[in-house]
Structure 1
Amino acid sequence: MNRQTQYWAPERLDSGLIEAASALAAGGVVAFPTETVYGLGGDARSTEAVERIFAAKGRPSDNPLIVHLADAAGLDGLAAGVSSLERKLMAAFWPGPLTFVLPALPGAVSPRVTAGLDTVAVRVPAHETARRLIAAAGCPIAAPSANRSGRPSPTLARHVLDDLDGRIDGVLDGGPTGVGLESTVVRVMGDVVHVLRPGGVTAEQLRAAAGPDVRVESGSGDVGDVGEAAREVAPSGDAGAAGADDGSAAETAPRSPGVKYTHYAPQGEMVLVTGDAAPMRATVQSAADAARARGLSVGILACAEHAGDYRADAVLVLGSRAEPGEAAQTLYAALRECDDRGLGYIVAEGYPEDGIGAALMNRLRKAAGGHVLQA
């Protein structure tokens, strides 16, 4: 796959946005900024465009994509129904990093977007450039993160180019993203909000907005647990993944993007250490020393409070332990820096799982491939 990838610099944002929208309208695939991470967009109605997204990313096609809209009015052409509770949450968090899994109107989007299921994942991004681009393109935009599948998600335009230069039509540079982690994905069933993937909107925020009569249920954030939650709320008789010729895919196709496969991983081996601060520091250093004794170059992903205590080839500061939002913003860039430095072994400190810490720890566990040490 070799094509000329156009780069639209921030100083060319207005003209670049027009050119990028034209490329999308013509069936092209373009990377663009959102408030979470950079997305790789294509016309959600076009199977050819969506297949180009999968091809560029090397992404398994049984993983659904999120459809991005310029505003909530676009739901009328996508969703077969939106409940009063869903409307309430949309009013509270849209535009923003909250994705809803909704019953899809038949034929509204390519079956490759929904992985053949009868639901569609939808959000309205908070990034003004993203909404302007979608509006100018005149179509709903299916957009997973703009990285090669399995790699850390991109929070800068240069991260996109590192992974996808020559594989996509263009990159619209809107500067660094804000939240740094992907959107929260929910499915509302009656008076229960199921969190299928933790992200930029926390469970605590959902509870506060939904009200006392609504339950918000979250998985642990691990691939298996969230996948089970996604399947539990699925109605019987789902068709399964696109292209399947029997019912077996319905057992494995998740309702939410980003929960089935290992994601966000650096190239080196990675371990996550959890526990109270003092024993955690000792375990982190012990794991780092053991890896160095094996002749590996070692990096430590540390909170600001502990970084000065560690010995390694590289100590990368994610952010304050008291402010996990800082670590969320820097995590993916730090994982990419580990690759740039050629680190063969990475030890990451865990963070408290309150608020956005739940989403942060979800991504750290995925990056470590589930390799977790309890201090």
Structure 2
Amino acid sequence: MRHESITSADTAADAGAKALLEALPEAALLLSRDAMILTSNRAARAFLGRDVTGEPLSALQAGDDAALAHYIDRCFGTSSPLIGSIVLNDGGKGDSCRLFGCRATLPGGAVVLLRLDPNEDGRFTALNSKIAELHGEIRQRRHAQAILAETVAERELLLRELQHRVKNNMHMLDGILRGAEREARSEEAKDALRDVSLRIAAIGAVQQLLYSSEGIETIDSARLVEAVSKGALALARNEAATRFEVDSFRIPIETAVTVALILNELLTNAVKYGQPASGAQQVAVEMTLADRQVTLTIADNGPGFAPQQSHRRASGVGLVKGLLRQLGGSLHIGSTPEGTTCHVGFPLPEQEVRRDLS
């Protein structure tokens, strides 16, 4: 009677274990010590495509039977889940999944509860492939970026070398002109050679600034005015009182050369022909930037002039007007017995305007 009651209790316990197994959401199997499948739950049957009860676990895999047997043997030794893996054969859809196995004690004896996670190994396969692809693309882009940076650096080096050679050639040409000026016999020839020498020096000043600046496409307006003014102011018989008010902004190299020639011409005229009858000579230079419009003003306190009365100064003004046509600019001259003021205006394209905030 007692034996029958124990058997009934064991049967009830086994039934409860099976019911608990069925309640698990993931695929699960109960295994004997020799890795035979005692039972499987609904999720396992759905995943494997059939009821595998009574089959050996090795029948499901396409891998090493000895490794799988060793894993099951280890699971019998612990109640904590051990992680393993299995590659299912074609009958099991050929999937790879992770295993979580541990010992479970039932009235009939110890078994292994084996849970299958069919997505664990394959879940990130596509993602890992995409990540590897992205890593490869990143490496390619970094390589291309490094090549581009190297190419740009070589280009800048070549441009600076070219600018250096141009600067040296301008200095050599300036020296030749100054030598010819000293050897010239007539004052008219001396004046003509001196004017050409100053214009060459103005262009050379731009090249010198470009060579010594950080950028290779623009130069600072304040430094441009300072460099060009030195040569022209040296023509004054006595040291002139000068005043400079110049906004600092970047001027592209193509525009800078033209601006340097305009500034040199007007400043040379102011120094040469703006000598007052008495008192010290005064020269003022202003350059401002507002709404993409540059305004250059040069004023002296000389006796003034009229174009028809001063051919030399008027010819310089004609050159300035020709240069301004290249910039789309204009020139306005106000001349009185108390002095002459020249107003130059020209636009800078929006992409070329960048104030120096340093």
Q: Tell me the TM-score range normalised by the shorter chain.
A: under 0.3
Q: TM-score, normalised by structure 1?
A: 0.22
Q: TM-score, normalised by structure 2?
A: 0.23
